[in-house]
């Protein structure tokens, strides 16, 4: 989501006549879009801002700005702590950045009043409607689409409701129009973004034929010509109902990959986290999805070392984690996040114990991912070509429908196309293959899309 917000701000600045440069040393303006999920991320951003302030010694017109979640979380405290800061913009005001920047630069050049540090952190009605795509320098084969802002959940470890505000959604019509424009520019895959994406529109848009607003949106996106694949992140188990499960059966473009945050396999810890589901309910969702798509790929989020997590609690998580068989996971060691209820809980888990538990789950994950990738050797997988791989001359990179990275030799002009890839090798994170002789979009075998 932060990546998507940064892209949007950059695009708005390009439209205003600014140029994005390749390195901060070349820049007249540096804007840091920040995260507040962990205190360490905030400390890094504060340190980076202090480092950048040195540029003002040689260039008094150098502009430094902080955007996003840390700005929203810490507010004017940052102005006192960072006296060289020129701009502080919250999560509902990204679209105001070009105007604020113009005013700052005009004042530095003597063409307007000196504003001091501009601080813009207030909520703004309708701000969710400002997050649609803007022109980018190069069309993306795969792109993010923000469909909503905010979060109404109150997980005890999470600062996001404070930094992103309450849930607010865009209209289905507006989102579809944006995706149609992206498809016309060459985008072939979209990932729908929301803090809890399957909560989309639940207060603004009525259910239709038993289908939630989010499923209605998925159906509409599925009809967009030129879009070959649909993904979304991140859903919440509480809102993962039967209509969404059945969407994987009914919508050919919806990829067979689900990122479903678990956080803990212990019901006691889930209650302490204020996660309103049980491991039994989570397992039911997994089973129902596999009943519809037997080869579904699953990824998740896990927090180890939450306050009060005993050895028995962690064993429940380890056992469940192994039982489900996730192909990918973000495994976090709990860190105190000031301003959240969990920060005040007693029985904090020692750092060494968190590290040990983290390593145990990472090892299980690596083994599972290796087994799944090796099982694909000898098969043919549909891959969306994203472009040149990071390493290797003449090597391309793309992803399978199950969101597994694949690399293979090929021509650059295949970017944006679907190809049939014969898998010849695998590592924990990457598949290696060769193109089948006939790889044109029109001749890629899509029969699997109807096999559910």
pLDDT at residue 134 greater than cutoff 60: no
pLDDT at position 102: 93
- pLDDT, position 445: 47
- The enclosing domain of 58 has a CATH number of 3.40.50.12160
| Mean pLDDT value of segment 167-172 | 94
Residue 348 has pLDDT above 60, yes or no: yes
- Provide the domain count of the chain: 3
With both helix axes pointing from N to C terminus, report the angle between 213-222 and 172-184 in degrees, rounded to the nearest 10. Answer: 30
Residue 378 is predicted with a pLDDT of 97
Tokens at 302, concatenated: 């896990």
pLDDT score recorded for residue 8: 87
Burial readout 419-440 (b: 16 or more C-beta within 10 A, e: otherwise)? bbbebeebeeeebbbebeeebe
Domain end marker among 375, 407, 433: 375
Range of the domain at 144: 127-375
Contact 190, 384 (CB under 8 A): no
pLDDT in tens, 263-275: 999 999 999 999 9
Kindly state whether residues 169 and 104 are assigned to the same domain: no
Residues 280 and 407 in one domain: no
The pTM is what? 0.86
pLDDT value at residue 182: 94
Q: Has residue 145 got a pLDDT over 50?
A: yes
Last residue of a domain, one of 72, 101, 120: 120
pLDDT class of 305 with cuts at 50, 70, 90: very high
* Residue of 230, 238, 178, 177 whose CA lies nearest to 202: 238
Residue linked to tokens 């260039």: 59
Instruction: State the average pLDDT over residues 28-41.
Output: 91
Q: Are residues 131 and 20 in the same domain?
A: no
pLDDT, mean over the chain: 91
* Token pair recorded at residue 268: 């006691």
Q: Are residues 103 and 142 in the same domain?
A: no
What angle (nearest 5°) sits at the alpha carbon of residue 273, between those of residues 214 and 369? 70
* pLDDT score, position 416: 95
Question: Are 131 and 272 in a shared domain?
Answer: yes
In this structure, the answer to whether residues 179 and 144 fall within a common structural domain is yes
Q: What is the pLDDT of residues 73-96, one digit of tens each?
A: 998 899 999 999 999 999 989 999
pLDDT band at 115 (very low <50, low <70, confident <90, very high): low
Work out the burial of residue 71: count CB atoms within 10 Å of its CB; fewer than 13 is exposed, 13-18 middle, 19 or more buried. buried
Residue 18 DSSP symbol = -
Q: Do 288 and 242 form a contact (C-beta atoms < 8 A)? A: yes
Q: Is the pLDDT of residue 1 over 90?
A: no
CATH number of the structural domain spanning residue 169: 3.80.30.20
pLDDT confidence tier of residue 418, bands split at 50, 70 and 90: very high
Domain end position, chosen among 352, 375, 398: 375
């Amino acid at each position: 989501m932060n990546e998507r917000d940064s892209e949007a701000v950059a695009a708005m600045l390009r439209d205003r006549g600014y140029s994005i440069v390749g390195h901060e040393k070349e820049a007249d303006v540096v804007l840091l879009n920040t995260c507040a999920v962990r205190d360490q991320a905030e400390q890094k951003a504060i340190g980076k801002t202090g480092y950048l302030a040195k540029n003002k010694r040689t260039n008094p017109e150098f502009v430094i700005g902080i955007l996003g979640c840390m700005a929203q979380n810490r507010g004017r405290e940052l102005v006192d702590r960072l006296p060289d800061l020129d701009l502080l913009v919250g999560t509902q005001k990204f679209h105001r950045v070009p105007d604020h920047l113009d005013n700052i630069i005009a004042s530095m050049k003597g063409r307007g009043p000196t504003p001091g540090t501009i601080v813009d952190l207030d909520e703004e009605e309708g701000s969710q409607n400002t997050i649609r795509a803007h022109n980018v320098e190069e069309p993306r084969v795969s792109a993010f689409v923000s469909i909503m802002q905010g979060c109404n959940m109150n997980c005890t470890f999470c600062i996001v409701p404070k930094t992103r505000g309450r849930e607010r959604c865009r209209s289905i019509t507006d989102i579809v129009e944006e995706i149609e424009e992206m498809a016309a520019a060459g985008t072939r895959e979209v990932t729908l973004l929301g803090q809890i994406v399957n909560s989309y529109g639940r207060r603004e848009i009525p259910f239709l034929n038993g289908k939630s607003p989010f499923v209605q949106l998925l159906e509409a996106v599925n009809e967009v010509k030129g879009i070959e694949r649909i993904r979304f992140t991140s859903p919440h188990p509480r809102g993962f109902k039967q209509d969404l499960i059945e969407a994987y059966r009914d919508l050919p473009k919806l990829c067979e990959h689900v990122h479903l945050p678990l956080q803990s396999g212990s019901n006691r810890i889930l209650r302490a986290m204020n996660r309103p589901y049980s491991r039994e309910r989570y397992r039911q969702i997994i089973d129902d999805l596999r009943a519809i798509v037997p080869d579904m790929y699953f990824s998740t989020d896990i927090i180890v070392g939450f306050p009060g997590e005993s050895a028995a609690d962690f064993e429940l998580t380890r056992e469940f984690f192994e039982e489900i068989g996730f192909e990918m996971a973000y495994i976090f060691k709990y860190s105190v996040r000031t301003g959240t209820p969990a920060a005040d809980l007693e029985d904090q888990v020692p750092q060494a114990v968190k590290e040990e538990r983290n390593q145990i789950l990472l090892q299980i994950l690596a083994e599972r991912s290796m087994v799944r990738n090796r099982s694909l050797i000898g098969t043919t997988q549909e891959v969306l070509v994203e472009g040149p791989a990071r390493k290797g001359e003449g090597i391309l990179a793309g992803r399978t429908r199950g969101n597994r990275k694949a690399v293979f030799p090929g021509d650059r002009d295949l970017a944006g196309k679907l190809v049939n890839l014969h898998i010849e090798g695998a590592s924990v994170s990457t598949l290696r293959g060769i193109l089948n002789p006939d790889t044109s979009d029109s001749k890629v075998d899509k029969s699997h899309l109807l096999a559910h």
